[in-house]
Structure formats: C-alpha cells, structure tokens
Amino acid sequence: MHVNLAEPVIWPEEGSLLGGGEQPIYRVGRLMHRAESALIHAASNEFGRPLALKVYRPQPMQGESPEVQWRREQQMLALVPHPQVLRLHDAFSCGNLLYLALEAADANLEGWINRHGPLDESGVRELARQLLEGLHAIHSRGIVHLDLSPVNVLVQAPAIGAESPCFKIADFGISVLLSEGVQLSRPTDHWAHLPPELLQPGSRSPTPFCDLYGLGLTLLLALRGSIPLSNALPLAVVERQVLEGVASQRAAELKPPLGLFIATLLQVRPEDRYGSALEAWRVLRDLDLG
C-alpha cells in the first residue's frame, strides 16, 4: 500500500467516520495520546464496539517511512496472539494516512499511575506476572519489543469478578525479529528508557535482555511513582547514570524481595539479569512478599 506524502494531511476529527478495511466504518472519538510517530484516538466500529485508532504521522521516524513501521507493527501483532499483547483488529489507509484499529484500553500505565498513584506490592507483582507472560510469548516468536515502557503498557479496568486490571503490551513500531540479524545504532530519543547495551554508541544486535531491562524500569515506576532517570537531562548525564546502574541501585533500596527482583532486571550487564522472561516469571512466582 503506497501513501502519497506530498498530499496535504487531513487529520481525523472527533465524530468523523472513516472507511476501513475489514470493518467498513469507524467513528473517531477523542484524542487520547500524542506520540512521536502516531496519534491514538478512541473509536468505535459500526456495531458500537470500543476500539482505539492508531494514526501514523506522515513524516519518517529515524529514517523509516510510516509505511514501514505500519507494516512491521501489523506483522508483529499477527505473530503474537496473546491475552497480554494488544490485539489488532484492522489495518487500512484513508486519505494519505495509515491506520491500525486496535483493542481498546482505559489508559497507559504512566497515565494510570499519575491518576491513581503507585501500585502496592501485590499490584506490582501482578503487573510483572502479566507482562512476563506477554514477553515470554513475544520472545518465543523470535521478537524483541525494544520499547517496553510505562507508556507502551496499556491498562484495562478489572473485568467483572476480577480483582486486578488487565495489562497489555502495545506499540511494536520499532520491534525486530531476531532471525533478521538486525544491527541497531543508538536511537535519537528516549535516552532514559534505553538499556545500557543500546545506549552506548555503535551498532549491536538487540536481544530479549533489552526487554527485561524495560520491564524493570516499568515495574520501578509502578512501585515508586517515578524512575530516577529523565529524558529532559543531557544525554551525557543520562548515559553516565544508566551505566552507573542508578536505576538498579534505587530498586535495591526498596523492600525485599520485590526490590531485589526489580534490581536484577535492571542490572547494567545483560548477562546479570534473568536468563529469560520465563526464568524471571518462575522467580516471581516463588517470591514470598509476606
């Protein structure tokens, strides 16, 4: 599918109708989130089912066209049908914009924490359990997510009879397949969320260890309400803090055993983290939180 980027961009407006692919009509709802590569709108299909519309910005991101990212995300989501991975319903173009119709959620984790406050230890443990199950499914398909963060973990309010929210891993726009042997240069933004092995200059192959580090930062924010790193700081400062293991040190100061579990995920050397999402899940299962 080719999109003419020379045409004027006509952004969807709240209340407007879009012609989709498999589902013929979507009604656009409120704008929920502005990301660098896309806008996220609430939406519904012709039967009134709540969905989310991801609208890709037309400009290239880090040298990639929006079409490349759009196709990649479709591919990755199709490979991992799992309850802890956001479900793809449809992919289509309208005008000169590309869209994904996705499973609806109430908020991303960062917004949820900002409104409701940090989770307690049992809540963080449940968050970790769900995300590790999702990561195990993702890694089992030979995928590295590469962008696991509180913004890309979505929250669905507890279903009737359930005690905990449902957490979903979203945004596979920069994910890679291990079989393709991709070499990554250091990205140009979001320094504070990069694992140490990707923060340093030079090309390298991503591994599932990168996602375990992202999980550690996500759990740290969920438990503390913040992380000790900021994208607002100069790169040199962030790089020094990350390579000194500041995040792992803060986690180790928290009440054990959960603090030590998170600290292990945040180790500077990848080989010092858990060996896999499955190994981390087994350790988590056996934690005695008292």
Beta-carbon count within 10 A of 199 CB = 17
Q: What is the pLDDT of residues 28-82, one digit of tens each?
A: 999 998 888 899 999 999 889 999 999 998 887 767 888 998 999 999 999 999 9
Q: Are residues 192 and 232 in the same domain?
A: yes
- Asked if the structure places residue 2 within a domain, the reply is no
Q: Are residues 263 and 131 in the same domain?
A: yes
61 in helix, strand or coil?
Answer: strand
Q: What is the CATH number of the domain that holds 89?
A: 3.30.200.20
Q: Are residues 67 and 124 in the same domain?
A: no
pLDDT at 159: 76
Query: Hey, what are 215's tokens?
Result: 């999980």
- Asked if the structure places residue 29 within a domain, the reply is yes
CA triplet 55, 198, 151: central angle to 5 degrees? 35
Question: Average of pLDDT values for 233-253?
Answer: 91
Q: Are residues 125 and 82 in the same domain?
A: no
Could you give the CA distance from residue 290 to residue 280 in angstroms, rounded to a whole number? Answer: 19
CA torsion angle 214 217 220 226 (round to 10): -140
Of 88, 103, 118, the last residue of a domain is 103
Q: What is the mean pLDDT of the chain?
A: 89
What's the domain range around 279? 107-285
Q: What is the pLDDT of residues 166-188, one digit of tens each?
A: 999 999 988 999 988 776 665 55
Q: Are residues 156 and 90 in the same domain?
A: no
Q: What is the pLDDT of residues 184-225, one digit of tens each?
A: 665 555 677 889 998 877 767 899 999 999 999 999 999 999
The size of the chain, in residues, is 290
Distances (CA, A) of 227 to 163, 193, 211, 249: 26, 10, 17, 11
Q: What is the pLDDT of residues 249-260, one digit of tens each?
A: 999 999 999 999
Q: Are residues 76 and 201 in the same domain?
A: no
Q: Are residues 139 and 40 in the same domain?
A: no
Nearest-CA neighbor of 151 among 181, 192, 123, 187? 192
Is the distance from CB of 42 to CB of 52 less than 8 angstroms? Answer: yes
Question: Between 145 and 290, where is the model more confident?
Answer: 145
pLDDT band, very low/low/confident/very high, at 111 (cuts 50, 70, 90):
very high
pLDDT at 187: 56
Q: Are residues 75 and 113 in the same domain?
A: no
Of 69, 88, 103, the last residue of a domain is 103
pLDDT at 185: 61
Q: What is the pTM of this model?
A: 0.92
Is the distance from CB of 117 to CB of 225 less than 8 angstroms? Answer: yes
Of 57, 76, 103, the last residue of a domain is 103
Question: Average of pLDDT values for 90-105?
Answer: 92
The residues near 5 (Cβ < 8 Å, ≥ 6 apart) are: 58, 59, 96
- CA 151 from chain centre, in angstroms, equals 6
Give the count of domains, the chain. 2
Q: Are residues 217 and 99 in the same domain?
A: no
Question: Average of pLDDT values for 132-137?
Answer: 98
- Asked if the structure places residue 1 within a domain, the reply is no
Q: Are residues 90 and 151 in the same domain?
A: no
Q: Are residues 68 and 111 in the same domain?
A: no
The residues near 75 (Cβ < 8 Å, ≥ 6 apart) are: none
